[in-house]
Structure 1
Amino acid sequence: MNAPPQEEATSAARVLVAEDDDAMRAMLVRTLRRAGYTVVEVEDGFELGDYVAMMRGHGGTLAPPDVIVSDVRMPGLNGLEALGRLRAQGVACPVLLLSAFADEETHAEALRLGARQLLDKPVDLDVLKAAVRDAVARG
């Protein structure tokens, strides 16, 4: 089976966005949809935890997304905890974390848990699109 052209692969990629700030989430979702991605959005860490629990490999029926973009600080499950659960389940999809409060310790923990990148807020949307594009391409 031949691999689809890069443009098709990008447009077919599914991105899960987890962000508790409504305006930020709307901006991220709109930006990624305009870039051609299929976007699933969750409002906070509680919904992110539910989504992770319902993914295949954990007894659920939802396919893991191609990329997860998650805020670090959210009510319920935070981005680092979600990343830890995903890796414990054997889910290897790339995770991009966003934080307005990331210190060196948070960056180190994100990388230790296997995050592809931790982007500082306010996130430059071109940087975000490039990071998602790179994560999709590398898998």
Structure 2
Amino acid sequence: MMSFLPSEPRPLRILLAEDDEQMRSMLTLTLARAGYAVVALEDGYELADYVSLTQVCGGPLQPPDLILSDVRMPGRTGLDVLAQAQLAGLSCPVILLSSFADEETRAEARRLGVRAFLDKPVDLDVLKETVRQTASGVM
């Protein structure tokens, strides 16, 4: 586990929800190598549970700085959890990933304030740049 001195900035905390194990591992490794702290979750249920346990919602966990989520996952979709997070007061930027995004899904994502929508298979360099820009407020 890394320890940071008080004068060092802490790495951006990314909450990653992806139901495909290989994709989740690849995204986690890519983002960790880029210097981000990644909390990897298996599906929409785990994402919803994490969101409900953040300090914003009265729980013990630090809220994420950014959420990166697949749209279609077993149980709860990324859009379902985003709506739940907003109702709870969690206001971090969100990037969605999807292999099957139709215009209705994209419109709903825009309505919910999603900062970026990336199609799978995602180019890892594009992902890293999108995360950087989103985290810095450029997008």
**What is the TM-score normalised by the length of structure 2?**
0.89
Superposed displacement of residue 12, structure 1: 1.1
State whether residues 44 and 74 of structure 2, in contact with CA within 8 Å, keep that contact through their aligned partners in structure 1.
yes
Q: 1:28 maps to what in 2?
A: 27
Superposed displacement of residue 57, structure 1: 2.2
Note the residue ranges of structure 2 that are not aligned, 5 or more in a row.
1-7
3-state SS, counterpart of residue 68 of structure 2: strand
3-state SS, counterpart of residue 76 of structure 1: coil
Q: 1:108 maps to what in 2?
A: 107
1:122 aligns with 2:121: yes
Please give the alpha-carbon distance, in whole angstroms, between the structure 2 residues aligned to 1:28 and 1:57.
Answer: 26
RMSD (Å), alpha carbons: 1.4
Superposed displacement of residue 25, structure 1: 0.2
State whether residues 57 and 89 of structure 2, in contact with CA within 8 Å, keep that contact through their aligned partners in structure 1.
no
3-state SS, counterpart of residue 80 of structure 1: helix
Superposed displacement of residue 91, structure 1: 1.0
Which stretches of structure 1, 4 residues or more, deviate above 3 A after TM superposition?
Answer: none
Superposed displacement of residue 130, structure 1: 0.8
Note the residue ranges of structure 1 that are not aligned, 5 or more in a row.
1-7
Provide the identity percentage: 59
State whether residues 94 and 135 of structure 1, in contact with CA within 8 Å, keep that contact through their aligned partners in structure 2.
yes
Aligned residues: 131
State whether residues 83 and 114 of structure 1, in contact with CA within 8 Å, keep that contact through their aligned partners in structure 2.
no
Please give the alpha-carbon distance, in whole angstroms, between the structure 2 residues aligned to 1:34 and 1:44.
Answer: 23
